[in-house]
Chain A
Amino acid sequence: SNPFEVKVNRQKFDILGRKTKNDVGLPGVSRSKAIKKRNQTLLKEYKEREKTNVFKDKRFGEYNTKITPEEKMIRRFTLERQQNYGKKNIYNLNEDEELTHYGQSLAEIEKLNDIVDSDSDTEERGTLSAELTAAHFGGGGGLLRKKVSSEQQDEEEEKPKSRKELIEEMIAKSKQEKQERQTRRESALELTEKLDKDWKEIQTLIAHKTPKSERKDKEAEKPKPDEYDMIVRELGFEMKAKPSERLKTEEELAKEEQARLQKLEADRLRRMRGIDEEANKKRPSHMSADDLADGFILDKDDRRLLSYKDGKINIENEEEEEEEEGEEEEEEEGEEEDNENEEESQEESAGEDEEDDPADGHSDLESDLESEGEAAENKEEKKHKANENKSQNVEKLDPKREAAKSELPYTFAVPESYETFKSLLAGRTIEQQLTILERIQKCNHPSLAVGNKAKLEKLFGFLLEYIGELATLDLPELRTIDKLVLPLYNLCQMFPEAASDSIKFILRDAAHDLEEVIEVRGRATFPGLDTLIYLKIVSLLFPTSDFWHPVVTPAFVYMSQLLTKCRITTLQDVIKGLFICCLFLEYVSLSRRFVPELINFLLGVLHISLPKNQAQGYTVVHPFTPVGKNLELLLVCDQEDLKSWEKQNVPLSIVTRLNETSRTEINHTRLSCLALCFDLIKKCAVLYESLPSFHEIMHPVRILLTQHMPINEYPEKMQEWYHSALKELENKVKHYTPLICEKKKPVPLKQYTPKIVKVLEFGKKQAGSKKEQERKQLIQRHKRELKGAIREIRKDNQYLARMQLSEIMERDAARKRKVKELLGSLATQEGEWKAMKRKKWKN
């Protein structure tokens, strides 16, 4: 292009590798471009600034350049035809569209008028027909005329109809058709309306009556339920389980389960090593991938639902129906509530029906006895229960009703305080308690209402407290606790934080109690059975192998305190201590962590089973003493008792009621404890064999076992325990490898070469993290855009000012011109006038 139009932006320094966009500029070209663009946009806008009317071109495809003109024309033509097509039929009488006047069809009005006219004509006009008048008044001529007229008629018939007649005929016909259609339609409408009305009347009746009628049907059936009915009902039940997905084969299920367990196990190992505790703070929660977190936990076979047989609880495993039942139960709950509401409103009106209810229930029971199909049975039972629940509202007292009141309701509110919780469970059997807890959980699932989460979290605390109370009874209800841990586990899975908090709270209380006792009395005693149970529950609810765990680690510390601080004065203490030893072993069974207190305690227990004043090759530590009072607690000298001893499991309740048992039994318990101790030592040996100082750890125990144990006096069974323990202790290879420190990472020397940083963009600051950089970039871009926008606006303003100026100039020029013209014309006028004057004056 023209070198005079080019502006070169001179570079101060030549930098290799830098590409510049703006080294050459064409100011003239770009300015003209900008002006052109403004002419098209800004100027237009400016000129139309006070105009509101807009011209819109709606011609089809006018501005569409993609369509060829021919095609455009064709399309326009078709459009036109389409538009005109409907309008053709305006004058067609057969057309469906109706013209109306005051909401009435015009055609109808017309017709009615016609009919009315003709009718009124005939009726009002004295009821005399033409023939009659002719006959009466026409005289003889009447006949004649008649003849003529008949002839005329004939003629008329014969001669071809004129065009006008034809048209009239056509019109009449079409009108008739139209009327017919209309009447048909109206009648149909009327009929449907009537039907609707009737239906509505009936419907109310049906709504109330149907359940009753059904029930009556059932009644009729029930007395003689034959096989066919049962099969039908069974089939009906089976159909309810709809297959939603392809059922997985057992292999697949097993594989999935295995994969899930493997993942969980890997997780557990990771936590056990405690490596990434800091690195990976956010550990994945312990749930399976396909857990919907909806609180439905798929139990295998341990969830039992309540069912009744002949009024007694039917404790059978009903694995097959469990799931179905769960769903149905919820559905039924909803329905039932509805029914109840209805029934309340209906109570007075249907008093008779109500009286049938108990009988109804009774018949159900009878049929239950006979029925064998479980599905049918369940259904009946549920109906039975539902009925009885419903009849709770009714005041009439009946033995049946009384029984019904003791049945479990379906919905439970979460108890607000521990007292209400206790009263809810009081007097119920274990199964009933479980059912109550399950229902509470289901009715108050967190997804159903906002406050439910907090309520259920509280429930966990109540349940724990309840368990503790059961354990502190004189006769601890351990069987109940055994079952109650299931809902506890489920609740814990739902609310881990709350559960851990409440268990921590209990542990803290127990630890503080212990501390207080130590401060006041100088020595501590073992806590009650409830604390032991709590510690056991911890191991059920939480993974005990973790390197650190918010609940398990405090539990560890607490148990360690128990084993080191509590005095051993009675056999119960020994049993409790051994229980805690078992707990320790269970806690570390996976992680194989070393528990010094455990070994100490077992050594002490062995020590107190020896006669006094044995030569020592070992030292027992606190709480045991080498000399002093509480020795020989486990020593049994009675030969009879030694002989009659059989290894038996130590009942836990012995902790609270040992005094009542006989001497022989006490001796037997002692021996059982000793056997337990041997077994624990054996387990410890297996667990710790990998520790480098295994022999040093087990040294005192080994010495005691080999040198001081009067093993020959013990029965054979005991000797077996003893030898198996000793074998584990002795056949370990001694193996020591000198320790070597991990190599220190060499500290890198300081270097003086320049630090090389990757340059991503010139002129940009590279420092800061990626986020910071991004932020800076954004800020800069915003700045740039703002500047550009301001520049554009400024240019727009300049352009507009220019335009306004040119307008004004134009206007001024025009005015000047006009003024000049006027002045010119005036001057000529003046000139002419003066010339005239001069002429006149000359003349």
Chain B
Amino acid sequence: QLPPGLYKKVLVILHDSVLPYMNEPTLMMDFLTVAYGIGGAISLLALNGLFILIHQHNLEYPDFYKKLYSLLDPSIYHVKYRARFFHLTDLFLSSSHLPAYLVAAFIKRLARLALTAPPEALLMILPFICNLFRRHPACRVLVHRPGGPADMSEDPYVMEEKEPSESRALQSSLWEIQSLQNHYHPDVAKAAAVLNQSLSEMEDDISGLLELSASELFDREVKKKAVDVPLEFEQVRGLFGKKNDIFAEHFSLD
């Protein structure tokens, strides 16, 4: 019933400047449920208020995890409220009483979406996934399936399925993470390679990684001190003079 801009503004401050001062926070229930149902960034924002209601006011929300699962789409790694969203998701998935299929579906979906994520989001989501594995050891089949079939022609996981229980995530493996081990950013590649080994017991602290921005990432790289600088050994022949230069095929210097 509100314009999207106003919706966002309200939802951003709702959880810590409105809800605590209300006598009957449960009155906001309908508003938040509707907002949660809208989808996109507004849903992400409504999640926070909803969480407070569920957590402190015994709100019973049917199919909460299914809704959360359907919120995951490629844009979550790119939106502004990424840190807030993943902070909450971390909280929701921290319960050890969740069924393995659900957590596996979340892991698989997050990993699949990570194939389009920028490096700063990847640096956050990889430890996040590691933490999920630590909390739910039953999901480790995703990275370690010794007795499985040698070769599969299809990924068993169904991306389009809305219902986590139907997504067959537990029969799949995390090939996405294996692909990310080839990521161009050295830190991402290293973080992805962690899943190759058996995980340590301690959970990683991701609170510092949630807010990581691209410019911070850049500054971190620039400030690194190098012992020596390797040089290109191929003799330069001009701006587009390399062997098989892609630029020479498509651009001209005029």
Contact = CB atoms under 8 A, between A and B. Distances in A.
B250 A482 contact: no
B235 A649 contact: no
For chain A, which range describes its interface: under 10, 10 to 19, 20 to 34, or 35 or more residues? 35 or more
A582 B247 contact: yes
B198 A588 contact: no
B206 to A, nearest CB: 20
A3 interface: no
Contacts of B217: 557
A738 B149 CA distance: 7
A551 interface: yes
Instruction: Name the residue in A267, A734, A741 with the highest tally of chain B Cβ atoms < 10 Å from its Cβ.
Output: A741
B229 A496 contact: yes
A493 B231 contact: yes
Nearest to A578: B250
A648 B249 CA distance: 9
Contact of A650 (B73, B244, B250): B250
A627 B241 CA distance: 40
Contacts of A622: 75, 78-79
Nearest to B122: A596
A650 B247 CA distance: 10
B148 to A, nearest CB: 4
User: Is chain A's interface secondary structure helix, strand, loop, or mixed overall?
Assistant: helix
A586 B247 contact: yes
Given A594-B183, A696-B112, A489 B247 contact: no
B245 interface: yes
Interface in A91-143: none
A274 B151 contact: no
A693 B176 contact: yes
Given A281-B227, A285-B228, A542-B230, A739 B174 contact: yes
A556 B122 CA distance: 15
Contacts of A585: 246
Contacts of A541: 231-232, 236
Interface string B214-241: 1101110110111111111101111111
Contacts of B175: 692-693, 696, 736, 739
A832 B56 CA distance: 146
Q: What bracket does the count of chain B residues touching chain A fall in?
A: 35 or more
A551 B218 CA distance: 11
B250 A676 contact: yes
Given A508-B222, A536-B247, A691-B182, A651 B252 contact: yes
Contact of A543 (B119, B179, B230): B230
A649 B228 contact: no
Interface in B189-220: 189, 195-198, 214-215, 217-219
Nearest to A264: B233
B219 to A, nearest CB: 8
Interface string B74-89: 1101110000000000
A567 interface: no
B254 A554 contact: no
B229 to A, nearest CB: 4
A736 B117 CA distance: 22
Contacts of B251: 579, 582, 649-652
A667 to B, nearest CB: 17
B162 interface: no
B19 interface: no
Given A540-B242, A738-B149, A594 B228 contact: no
B94 interface: no
B182 A592 contact: yes
A60 B111 CA distance: 99
B154 interface: yes
A736 B252 contact: no
Between B79, B148, B225, B246, the greatest number of chain A beta carbons within 10 A of the residue's beta carbon is seen for: B246
Contact of B239 (A478, A589, A599): A478
Contacts of A43: none
A306 interface: no
B150 interface: yes
A725 interface: no
A485 B173 contact: no
Contact of A561 (B180, B215, B249): B215
B146 A740 contact: yes
Nearest to B226: A550
B158 interface: no
A485 B238 contact: yes
A652 to B, nearest CB: 6
Nearest to B160: A617
30 contacts: A271-B230, A274-B186, A285-B228, A493-B231, A496-B230, A497-B229, A507-B222, A511-B215, A533-B239, A541-B232, A542-B232, A543-B230, A543-B232, A547-B189, A548-B186, A553-B185, A554-B218, A554-B222, A564-B214, A619-B74, A649-B251, A649-B252, A650-B251, A651-B252, A691-B178, A692-B175, A696-B115, A696-B176, A734-B153, A738-B149
